[in-house]
Amino acid sequence: MCGIAGVISYRTMLRDKERYFTQMQNSIVRRGPDQKGMYLSEHAALLHTRLAVIDPENGIQPMQFFYQNELYTIIYNGELYNTSELRTRLQKEGFTFDTTSDTEVLLKAYACYGEECVELLNGIFAFAVWEQERQRLFLARDRIGVKPLFYHLTPERLVFGSELKCILKYPDVPHEIDMDGISQILLFGPGRTPGCGVFRGMQEIPPAHCACYTKESGLHVRCYWKLEAKEHPDNFEQTVEYVRYLLTDAIRRQLVSDVPIGTFLSGGLDSSLISSVAAREFAKEGRRLHTFSVDYTDNDKYFQKSKFQPNSDPAYIRRMQTYLDAEHHWTVIDTPRLAVALFDAVDARDLPGMVDVDSSLLLFCGEIKKHVTVALSGECADELFGGYPWYRDPEIRAAYGFPWSQSTAYRLSFAKPEIAEVLEQRGDVDREYRATLERAAKCSGESATEQRMREMMRLNLDWFMQTLLDRKDRMSMYHALEVRVPFCDYRIAQYLYNVPWEFKEYKGYEKGLLREAMRDYLPDEVLWRKKSPYPKTHNPNYLTAVTTLLEERLRNPDAPLLQFVRRDALQQLMYGEDNVQWYGQLMTKPQTIAYFVQTDYWLEQYNVKVVL
End-to-end CA distance of the chain: 38
> Does 306 have pLDDT greater than 60?
no
What's the CA angle centered on 283, arms 372 and 239, to 5 degrees?
A: 95
pLDDT of the residue at 314: 85
Are 226 and 208 contacting, i.e. CB atoms less than 8 angstroms apart? yes
- Burial annotation 27-48 (CB, 10 A radius, 16+ → b, else e): bbebbbebebbbbeeebbbbbb
- Between CA 560 and CA 260 the distance in angstroms is 43
Q: What integer best gives the mean pLDDT of the chain?
A: 94
The CATH code belonging to domain 236-298+316-527 is 3.40.50.620
pLDDT surpassing 80 at residue 587: yes
218 backbone φψ class: left, alpha, beta (φ>0; ψ -120 to 50) = left
| Catalytic-labelled residue, pool 2, 117, 212, 488 | 2
236-298+316-527 matches 2-223 in CATH topology: no
Please state the domain extents for the chain.
Answer: 2-223, 236-298+316-527, 541-610
251 has pLDDT over 90: yes
Which residues, in sequence order, are CB contacts of 598 under 8 Å at separation 6+? 342, 343, 345, 346, 352, 353, 355
Q: Alpha-carbon distance 85 to 141, whole Å?
A: 20
- The pLDDT, as a whole number, for residue 580 is 80
Is residue 586 scored above 90 in pLDDT? no
Torsion sign over Cα 582, 377, 342, 36: negative
Residue 55's pLDDT is 74
Q: E strands, 113-250, where? A: 123-131, 136-141, 150-153, 158-161, 176-177, 202-204, 209-214, 218-223
pLDDT at 540: 80
Look at residue 601 in the predicted model and tell me its pLDDT: 98
Burial label for 443, CB within 10 Å (0-12, 13-18, 19+), is middle
pLDDT of residue 302: 56
Q: Which percentage of the chain shows pLDDT scores above 70? A: 96
Known catalytic membership, residue 166: no
Residue 311 half-sphere exposure, CB side, CA atoms within 13 Å?
Answer: 14
Arithmetic mean of pLDDT, 581-596: 92
H-helix or E-strand spanning residue 437: helix 428-438
* Total residues belonging to the chain: 612
Q: Is the pLDDT of residue 304 over 60?
A: no
Q: Decide if 105 contacts 124 (C-beta within 8 A).
A: no
| Residue 67 pLDDT exceeds 70 | yes
pLDDT number for residue 58:
73
How many CA within 13 A on the CB side of residue 286?
A: 0
pLDDT at residue 16 in the model: 85
Query: Helix, strand or coil for residue 64?
Result: strand
Quick: pLDDT tens for 426-472: 999 999 999 999 999 999 999 999 999 999 999 999 999 999 999 99
> Which of 231, 221, 120 lies closest to 490 in space, CA to CA?
120
Tens-digit pLDDT profile for residues 259-273:
999 999 999 999 999
- Cα separation, 12 vs 15, in Å, equals 9
Each residue's pLDDT tens digit, 168-192 = 999 999 999 999 999 999 999 999 9
DSSP labels, 365-388: HHHHTTT-SEEE--TTHHHHHT-S
Query: CA-CA distance, 21 to 7, in Å (whole number)?
Result: 8
Q: What is the mean pLDDT of residues 100-126?
A: 97
Q: What is the DSSP string of 520-537?
A: GGS-HHHHTPPP--S---
Q: Omega before 33 cis (within 30°)? A: no
Look at residue 416 in the predicted model and tell me its pLDDT: 97
Nearest to 591 by CA among 359, 298, 366: 359
Q: Mind listing the pLDDT tens digit for each residue in 523-547?
A: 999 999 887 666 666 678 899 999 9
- Name the pLDDT band for 212 (thresholds 50, 70, 90): very high
pLDDT mean over 374-378: 97
pLDDT digits over 592-602, tens only? 999 999 999 99
pLDDT-based confidence at residue 579 (cuts at 50, 70, 90): confident
b (16+ CB within 10 A) / e for 105-125? bbbbbbbbbebebbebbbbbb
Task: Give 27-58 pLDDT, tens digit per residue.
Answer: 999 999 999 999 999 999 999 999 888 777 77
What was the pLDDT predicted at 160? 98
Task: Give the span between the Cα atoms of 560 and 567, in whole angstroms.
Answer: 11
CA distance 312 to 303: 7
CB neighbours of residue 555 within 10 Å: 8
Beta strands in 353-458 (DSSP E): 374-376
565 near 415, Cβ under 8 Å?
A: yes
Residue 105 has pLDDT above 90, yes or no: yes
**pLDDT winner (highest mean) among 313-317, 515-519, 525-529:** 515-519
Domain at 2-223: CATH architecture: 4-Layer Sandwich (3.60)
Phi first, then psi, for residue 295 (nearest 5°) are -145, 175
Question: Residues 376, 378, 379, 384: is their CA dihedral positive or negative?
Answer: positive
Contact status, residue 150 vs residue 164, Cβ threshold 8 Å: yes
Hey, which residues does 290 pair with through a beta bridge?
Answer: 262, 327
Give the C-alpha separation, 251 to 133, whole Å. Answer: 40
| pTM summary value | 0.95
